[in-house]
């Protein structure tokens, strides 16, 4: 792994740096570029701005790796409150939620995660929107796909995520490319061993294109989560080749990342969904975004020392 990335990921676990980031007045502006805020109100405000700009959104209440039932319950309550607001504010046709099963108890007890995810799906149904289950490290893939299968038995609109870097993913993509199946394809964000994942970036990119082809060739609704300009272009070409019309697939990008490109694609008639993270647990998320892109880190470090 590149040394800067290693350093930033180490900072993600450092309390002193966390305190510095949370309290430095200017760094708050940089945090706000990538995280919508800490409250439901902040999340709804960011959603309204993006929807007004012609974009769709998926909202993630930050927090993961919960080993505490009370914390898992707090996360469920946050989603229930948010879904209620999306319904009340008439946003549910353009805004859905993304859920990390580890944040609702997967590491404690798989049944608890299923029960909690079920409560969130019930609230999403009432609100008139959908849920996508984020994918985490490879030790959770089977469990997460199993829970996805169970939830889809009741709510076929529950979406899943596949990570192109995993060797298994082409098979998963082929199996899941069925009618009504909503699948987000991303490169994959976790540090995985080469026994289970492609490690070289160009291998990951090639795998992404193979999986994208499998999803586009099938009958499901693929959701292409990437900021990579080359992949965005290839997906556009492949979608046309498979006779896919805009609206039969979508692009997804993170809040604050390539916002001009998000708007350009939407203006060209594509469906573009922005992943909006919010909540008190923003620090680890922010550090991962920094680790992905050195230019973001430079921007961020400058903001810590300048006024
Ligand atoms: P990268 O390989 O990071 O970058 C490729 C190129 O994209 C860069 O060279 C640059 O040209 C451009 N680019 C990338 N970042 C920026 C930037 N900040 N500013 C400007 N240009 C940039 N991962 C999971 O493991 N599980 C999930 O559930 C999951 N959900 C996701 C949901 C969404 C909507 C998105 C967008 C990502 C998600 N990810 C998830 C993260 C994903 O796996 C990647 O780690 C992340 O998207 C970075 O990969 P990339 O495809 O954007 O390209």
Share the mean pLDDT of the chain.
92
- CATH architecture, range 39-280: Alpha-Beta Barrel (3.20)
Domain spans in the chain, listed from the N-terminal domain onward: 1-35+282-307, 39-280
- pLDDT score of 305 more than 60: no
The DSSP secondary structure of 213-236, one letter per residue, reads HHHHHSSSEEEEE---HHHHHHHH
Nearest alpha carbon, ligand 1 atom 11 = 228
Among 227, 229, 235, 285, say which to mutate for ligand 1: greatest number of ligand atoms within 8 Å of CB: 227
The token pair at 98 is 């993304």
Report the percentage of the chain scoring pLDDT > 70.
87
SS3 292: helix
What is the distance in A from the centroid of ligand 1 to the CA of 226?
Answer: 5
The token pair at 77 is 């309550």
pLDDT band, residue 4 (cuts 50/70/90): low
φ and ψ of 72, to 5 deg: -60, -40
Report the percentage of the chain scoring pLDDT > 90.
78
For residue 212 and ligand 1, the question of a CB distance below 6 A is answered with no
Say yes or no: ipTM exceeds 0.90: yes
Residue 168: half-sphere exposure toward Cβ, Cα within 13 Å: 12
- pLDDT score of 282 more than 70: yes
What is the distance in A from the centroid of ligand 1 to the CA of 205?
Answer: 11
Considering only residues 25 and 19, tell me which one the structure prediction assigns the higher pLDDT.
19
Contact 116, 72 (CB under 8 A): yes
For residue 28 and ligand 1, the question of a CB distance below 6 A is answered with no
Active site residues per annotation: 134, 184
Per-residue pLDDT tens digits for 76-129? 999 999 999 999 999 999 999 999 999 999 999 999 999 999 999 999 999 999
Contact 222, 212 (CB under 8 A): yes
For residue 292 and ligand 1, the question of a CB distance below 6 A is answered with yes
SS3 146: helix
What is the distance in A from the centroid of ligand 1 to the CA of 47?
Answer: 20
Atom of ligand 1 nearest to the CA of 256: 18
**Listed range (219-223, 278-282, 303-307) with the worst mean pLDDT:** 303-307
**What SS3 string covers 37-102?**
CCCHHHHHHHHHHHHHCCCEEEEEECCCCCCCHHHHHHHHHHHHHHHHHHHHCCCCCCEEEEECHH
Atom of ligand 1 nearest to the CA of 201: 2
**Listed range (16-25, 107-116, 217-226) with the worst mean pLDDT:** 16-25
For residue 242 and ligand 1, the question of a CB distance below 6 A is answered with no
- pLDDT score of 30 more than 90: no
Atom of ligand 1 nearest to the CA of 58: 34
The DSSP secondary structure of 221-274, one letter per residue, reads EEEEE---HHHHHHHHHHHHHTTPPTTSSEEEEETTSSHHHHHHHHHTT--EEE
SS3 113: helix
Pairwise CA distance, residues 205 & 222, whole Å? 17
pLDDT band, residue 286 (cuts 50/70/90): confident
What is the distance in A from the centroid of ligand 1 to the CA of 207?
Answer: 15
Average pLDDT over residues 223-247: 97
- pLDDT score of 307 more than 70: no
Q: State how far the alpha carbon of 37 is from the alpha carbons of 46, 132, 253, in Å.
A: 9, 21, 18
Predicted TM-score (pTM) of the model is 0.93
Give the full edge-to-edge strand order of the sheet including 272-278. Answer: 131-133, 95-99, 56-61, 272-278, 250-254, 221-225, 182-186, 160-163
Among 232, 260, 292, say which to mutate for ligand 1: greatest number of ligand atoms within 8 Å of CB: 292
Average pLDDT over residues 194-218: 98
- pLDDT score of 292 more than 90: no
Helix 169-176 crosses helix 201-217 at what angle (to 10 degrees)? Answer: 20
For residue 262 and ligand 1, the question of a CB distance below 6 A is answered with no
Give the pairing of strands 160-163 and 182-186: parallel
- pLDDT score of 306 more than 60: no
Considering only residues 58 and 30, tell me which one the structure prediction assigns the higher pLDDT.
58
Considering only residues 111 and 25, tell me which one the structure prediction assigns the higher pLDDT.
111
Looking at residue 1, what is its pLDDT?
57
Nearest alpha carbon, ligand 1 atom 22 = 227
Looking at residue 36, what is its pLDDT?
96
Looking at residue 67, what is its pLDDT?
87
């Amino acid at each position: 792994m590149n040394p800067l990335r290693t350093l930033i990921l180490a900072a993600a676990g450092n309390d002193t740096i966390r305190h510095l980031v949370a309290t430095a007045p200017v760094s708050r502006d940089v945090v706000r570029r990538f995280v919508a805020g800490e409250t439901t109100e902040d999340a709804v405000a960011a959603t309204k701005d993006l929807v007004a700009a012609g974009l769709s959104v998926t909202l993630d209440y930050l927090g993961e790796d919960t080993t505490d039932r009370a914390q898992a319950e707090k996360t469920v309550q946050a989603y229930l409150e948010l879904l209620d607001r999306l319904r009340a504010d008439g946003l549910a046709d353009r805004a859905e939620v993304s859920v990390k099963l580890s944040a609702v108890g997967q590491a404690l007890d798989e049944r608890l995660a299923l029960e909690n995810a079920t409560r969130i799906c019930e609230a999403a149904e009432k609100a008139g929107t959908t849920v996508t289950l984020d994918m985490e490290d490879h030790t959770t893939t089977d469990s997460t796909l199993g829970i996805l299968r169970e939830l889809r038995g009741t709510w076929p609109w529950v979406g899943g995520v596949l990570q192109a870097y995993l060797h298994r993913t082409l098979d998963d993509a082929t199996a899941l490319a069925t009618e009504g199946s909503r699948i987000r394809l991303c490169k994959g964000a976790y540090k995985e061993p080469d026994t289970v994942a492609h490690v070289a970036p160009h291998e990951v990119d090639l795998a992404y294109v193979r999986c994208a082809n499998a999803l586009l060739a099938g009958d499901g609704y693929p959701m292409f989560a990437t900021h990579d300009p080359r992949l965005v272009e290839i997906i556009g070409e492949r979608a046309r080749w498979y006779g896919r019309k805009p609206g039969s697939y979508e692009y997804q990008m993170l809040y604050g990342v390539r916002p001009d490109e998000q708007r350009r694609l939407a203006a060209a008639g594509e469906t573009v969904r922005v992943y909006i993270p919010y909540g008190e647990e923003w620090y680890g998320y922010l550090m991962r975004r920094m680790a992905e892109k050195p230019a973001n880190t430079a921007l961020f470090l400058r903001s810590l020392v300048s006024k």
